[in-house]
Amino acid sequence: MNLLQEDVQLMVETGLEAYRRDFTAYAEVCFREFGDRVLYWTTVNEANIFVVGGYDIGIIPPQRFMGPLVFGDYPDIMKKNVGTRLPAFTKIESEQVKGSFDFIGANHYITIYTKDKSSSLKMDTRDFNADMAVELIRQRTWKNATLSDPGRVKYIQSFIGSLLDAMRNGSNARGYFYWSFMDLFELLDGYESCYGLYYVDLNDKDLKRYPKLSAHWYSNFLKGQSMNLNGATEVQKMIDSTLSQSHSSQ
């Protein structure tokens, strides 16, 4: 369960100390009410969005997040640029925050290819992307709401396989979670991004859900049953049969 999702404006309005007290009380309620069912907690979701949203897109205040968690203090260059506006850590606070994270999660939606764009460094005014001197090449393909999604199956299979290779090579990876269980409301795209394992029929008054091919594959994977793409035909027949029965009952 995630506890914080970009509630920066509340911190600005209430002040740091009041926000700290309120967040502590809120976290204690979550632990008390859901602690018997939730095994893993994340404090901040998509921490990189805080940085990109602040310095590039401009939708949230600029900030940093990893420096204090790793070193117990902000980088010297940040102290120089921000000055007295930057909160200062006491020696005790610095010791408490240093190394206080249990793990770092990598939130991976898409793979982005890059190519050289050194010419951007000659610009007088540069943004986050121009500073990297690269051109980002990306294609969003998750808006396909079909129940037959072998591309997603291949992606999940490849991702888990690569994670396993990394662990065999010494990576201290501890877990993998698929996002998301079903098609849902995305903050920037509404209901257009259909990247769930279950399709949700928004035209149905009960918002009926249908398992996609990827849901069947992932279920079999979690059960320890091998199912490659070549054997997915039978699963696809199951999906077609489910849909046929559903439509006939209507």
Distances (CA, A) of 178 to 10, 44, 73, 83: 30, 18, 33, 41
CB 74 within 8 A of CB 80: no
Instruction: Tell me the average pLDDT across 45-69.
Output: 70
Instruction: Out of 6, 46, 93, 186, pick the active-site residue.
Output: 46
When pLDDT is cut at 50, 70 and 90, the band that residue 94 belongs to is very high
- The model's pTM is 0.59
What pLDDT score was predicted for residue 233?
47
Tens digit of pLDDT for each residue in 168-222?
898 888 888 888 888 887 766 777 778 889 999 888 999 999 999 999 999 988 8
Q: Does 46 participate in catalysis according to the annotation?
A: yes
Provide the residue ranges of all domains of the chain, joining segments of one domain with +. Answer: 2-97, 109-139, 150-249
